[in-house]
Structure 1
Amino acid sequence: MSHLNIAILGFGTVGKGVHYSIKSHQARLEQVLGKSVNVVAILVKNLEKHEQSREDGVLLTTNFEEILNIGELDVIVDAIVGCEPGHTYLTQALEKGIHVVTANKEMFAHHGEELLALAKKNDVTVGFEATVAGGVPVIQTLRQLLQVNRVRKVEGILNGTSNFILSSMRKDGHTFEKTLRAAQENGYAEADPSNDIEGYDAYYKGVVLSQLIFGEKPEEQSTIRKGITDITADYVESADELGLRFRHIVTLFKGQKGVQCKVEPVLISTEHPFYQVDGVQNAVSIETDLVGNVQLQGPGAGMYPTASAILEDIIQISRPVNSEPAYVVYQEEAANSSKWVLFNKNKKLEVPYDIKVLARLSDRAAVVETEEVERILLENPLLAYFELKGNYQHRVEKVNV
């Protein structure tokens, strides 16, 4: 039986998950591919730290050059973080004619176009399913849809840490700070969680999706990236009483001014597909012209969900299909949402008389319908406001001030 030889760069949670999954699913891989899958090398930072992981026939090294010099190396799996040295390593691998699979969303958001072009030039493949939503097969689904369908818009909960915090604040009634500490204690948030809670991680994933769907990155000047750190327990409680839930959502579409990307906390109603997506789950809603709305949900991170995405890419590389989507020009000018949830923490919320109020929970919180939210904000500079997604029918009233 022939072999598929693989090297793994990085041996943290993701790298170990890939290694263990290859061993535990070897029989299934052989059945699907008609060949065995062998891990022949692992790149680590510290040999002593991983000495107990050393196996006969597997090169354990801190020197990437040793991995490049392995004869008959088929695939390199990138399980390290940060733009460098991953970008340099994968560039060298592609130039040598080696397929690569990466889970590094930050690096791929910055260098994906370059790496894909280099792979095409050298007749090899870049797999990047694991860069977006862990075990949720977003990339493969989009590749299939883009053969015929035109994607109008994508919405996604793409960061499990933020979703866990917002869900837990609603369920437990705790402050943002206390919930964040609990997330860190349970391993759902890093010691420095800013990448997740400030929306950078979700934005990188949005960039990857933009390049896949539209063949270009979002317009930087019009990109919105807001974190969740300003959401208070009072906001969450008030929203819950209105039947609404906070979600940190990526919205991606192509308008007349180019690809638009928004990463921001929003409020959603019971009719929205993300209403029941709690905890560390990820979810993606893809709106297309033919099939309609396609929804995917599952674990967005972790050892085995990410390893699953990487193994699926390895399988696609070993039995390739047409993986290059035909980019379509579908332009839709962004329409500002006509429904907003407004909070005023310190004093009575003053809503202009000509603004329709759909619900008023108290004198400090209201759901309004307007295309002039900026006017309200000018008159109430301390206001917190969130876009409302999904149909909303509560108690309708017209308030005259």
Structure 2
Amino acid sequence: MSVIKVAILGFGTVGEGVYRTIHSHSEELAAALGKKVEVTAILIRNREKERNISEHVLVTTDFEEILKLKQLDIVIEAIVDKEPTFTFLKSAIERGCHIITANKEMFAHHGKELLELADEKKVSVGFEATVAGGIPVIQTLRQLLNINRVKQIRGILNGTSNFILTEMREKKQTFAQALVLAQENGFAEADPTNDVEGFDAFYKTMILSRLAFGKEPNWQDVNREGITSITSDLIDAAENAGLRFKHIASITRLGDQINATVKLALVGKEHPFYHVEGVQNAVNVQSDIVGEITLQGPGAGMFPTASAVIEDLVHVCKNSPEKQNNACSQEAVTGFSKSDKKETWLVHGVKHKQGTPSITWIEEVADETFVIKATDREIALLAKQNNLIYYPIIGEYEKVKQIKALKAL
């Protein structure tokens, strides 16, 4: 049986998970591909660190040694940062290798160039692991895009933020307490900025936009907000209203315009994101034929991410580059103007009802906290006049008084 030779760049959580999975599922890989998959080289940073790697594998700190191997079919990148990973993967493509990456920041910045170079060299690019960990959202979108027209994608794309919001609500912790717990459990880095300020979710959103719509909004036009402003009082107020805070990335296309946001929003019990808790991720896709589908699963971790990488490995081996790269134009487009459609909002900091007569005050759910209906312009003006904060409510909102009345019957 012939052999597919693989190099893994990085041997942290993801890299080790990929290495172990290739060994534990060697028979399944051979059956799927008709060839044995063999890890031939691993790029590491620290030679002194003890690792459980076969003596037959080239373990090196020099990427050039890997490029000089007699046979090299696939390069799997599981490092962090934009460089030197981008340079490594470009070199691998130039060598004629398929590449697979789990690096969302690098791919958000340089994916277009890698995809174009891969097309030129007639090799494939796998990037399932860059978005939502073990959830097969990239492959699902590729299948939908054969015929369906995607209208909107919404997702809980960062497990750290979702874990913090869940802990704050369930265990009545402060943001600082929940963040420390996330760090102690390995869900957050010592510097959690990328997660809690929304950068991680933003990079994933841009990757999804490029795949689903063939283009992205201008990055500076995207409303990116983190979760650091959340308080226990706000979470309690939302719970009083039957709502839960979620950090939601959203991309919507209308004509040639794309609107993208990454920010806190509220969902009710009927919304598919309501029960997405802890480090779980979820992606909701709306398209014109199939309608609405939601994918949910582990968003990070050794084996969920390794699963996405391994599925990519099978995919790049079994499919021609033309069918799987989806190298789309990355032309930037302007975002939407402010909508005149009435939306539902939770507003906090309101001492008394005021604003334009067209604002509908639905009910007060906690002290100085109301649910209202207003347009984007109206809510922005109200917030400016009253120095209040506000969050969108996604989906239908059922009044708390109505819920209590039904329960009393």
- Matched length: 393
Moved more, 312-321 or 275-284: 312-321
- How far residue 331 of structure 1 moved from its aligned partner, in angstroms, is 11
Q: Does 1:368 align with 2:372?
A: yes
In 2 relative to 1, CA 331–148 (structure 1 residues): closer, same or farther, beyond 3 Å? farther
8 Å Cα contact 1:281-1:300 kept in structure 2: yes
Mapping of 1:162-181 within 5 angstroms?
162-181=161-180
In 1: Cα distance, 2:356 partner to 2:112 partner: 50
The answer for the alignment partner of 1:302 in structure 2 is: 301
Distance 1:191-1:101 versus aligned 2 partners, 3 A rule = same
- Distance (Å, rounded) in 2 between the aligned partners of 1:261 and 1:332: 8
Cα pair distance change 1:232/1:262, threshold 3 Å: same
Aligned to 2:262: 263
Q: Which residue of 1 aligns with 2:31?
A: 31
Contact 1:255 1:331 in 2 (8 A): no
Contact kept, 8 Å, 1:147 with 1:325, in 2: the verdict is no
1:267 counterpart SS class: strand
**For the residues of structure 2 that align with 1:121 and 1:225, how far apart are their CA atoms?**
34
The reply on whether 1:348 has 2:351 as its aligned counterpart is yes
The one-letter amino acid of 2:100's match is V
For 1:323, the aligned partner's letter is Q
TM-score (norm 1): 0.94
Q: What is the identity, as a one-letter code, of the residue corresponding to 1:47?
A: R
Q: Residue 91 of structure 2 corresponds to which residue in structure 1?
A: 92
The aligned counterpart of 2:405 is none
Q: CA–CA distance in 1 between the matches of 2:106 and 2:328?
A: 22
Structure 2 letter corresponding to 1:18: V
Q: CA deviation at 1:359?
A: 2.0
Higher mean Cα deviation, 325-334 or 168-177? 325-334
- Where do 1:2-401 residues align within 5 Å? 2-50=2-50, 52-255=51-254, 258-320=257-319, 322-325=323-326, 335=339, 338-344=343-349, 348-352=351-355, 354=357, 355-371=359-375, 372-381=378-387, 383-395=388-400
What's the CA shift for 1:396? 7.4
CA–CA separation in structure 2 for the residues paired with 1:233 and 1:337: 28
The amino acid that maps onto 1:375 is: L
1:84-113 deviation line (CA, Å, top 9, x unaligned):
010000000001111100000000000000
Mapped partners of 2:31, 2:254: distance in 1: 45
Decide whether the 8 Å contact of 1:146 with 1:325 is kept in 2.
no
| 1:219 to partner: Cα distance | 1.9
Partner letter of residue 33 of structure 2? Answer: L
CA distance in 1, matches of 2:276, 2:235: 16
**5+ residue gaps, structure 2:** 403-409
Deviation at residue 257 of structure 1 after TM alignment: 6.2
Q: Which amino acid aligns with 2:324?
A: S
The answer to whether the 8 Å contact 1:213/1:327 transfers is no
Which one-letter code corresponds to 2:383 in the other structure? Answer: L
Q: Which amino acid aligns with 1:201?
A: D
Query: For the residues of structure 2 that align with 1:144 and 1:299, how far apart are their CA atoms?
Result: 21
Structure 2 letter corresponding to 1:393: E
Provide the C-alpha distance between the structure 1 equivalents of 2:356 and 2:366, rounded to a whole number of angstroms.
Answer: 17
1:353 CA displacement: 7.1
Shift of 1:362: 3.1
**Percentage identity across paired residues of the two chains:** 48
SS at match of 1:91: helix
The amino acid of 1:348's aligned partner reads K
Q: Aligned letter for 1:343?
A: H
Which one is further off, 102-111 or 27-36? 27-36
The answer to whether the 8 A contact 1:356-1:369 is kept is: yes
- Distance, in Å, in 1 between the alignment partners of 2:314 and 2:197 is 34
Residues 1:217 and 1:332: Cα distance change in structure 2 (over 3 Å): closer
Deviation at 1:327, TM superposition (A): 6.8
Distance in 2 between the 1:68 and 1:214 partners?
Answer: 35
Find the aligned partners of 1:176 and 1:337 in 2 and give their Cα distance: 31
- After TM superposition, the score normalised by the length of structure 2 is 0.92
CA separation in 2, counterparts of 1:277 and 1:364? 28
Shift of the alpha carbon at 1:192?
0.6
Q: 1:47 to 1:324 in 2, by over 3 A?
A: closer
In the TM superposition, structure 1's runs of 4+ consecutive aligned residues that sit over 6 Å from their partners are: 326-332
Of residues 350-359 and 230-239 in structure 1, the stretch that sits farther from structure 2 once superposed is: 350-359
Determine helix, strand or coil for the equivalent of 2:278.
coil
Task: Give the gaps of 5 or more residues in structure 1.
Answer: none
Instruction: Say if 1:152 and 1:332, in contact at 8 Å, map to a contact too.
Output: no
Kept in 1: contact 2:258–2:335 (CA 8 A): no
What do you get for the CA RMSD once the two structures are aligned?
A: 2.1
**Partner AA of 1:385 in structure 2:** Y
CA distance in 1, matches of 2:150, 2:356: 39
Q: Is 2:77–2:102's contact at 8 Å kept on the other side of the alignment?
A: yes
Q: d(CA) in 2 for partners of 1:75 and 1:83? A: 20
- CA spacing shift, 1:394–1:100, aligned 2, 3 Å: same
Superimposed CA distance per residue, residues 221-268 of structure 1 (whole angstroms, 9 cap, x where no aligned partner): 421100000100000001001000000000012235632210000111
Contact 2:365 2:400 in 1 (8 A): no
Q: Which amino acid in structure 2 is aligned with residue 352 of structure 1?
A: G
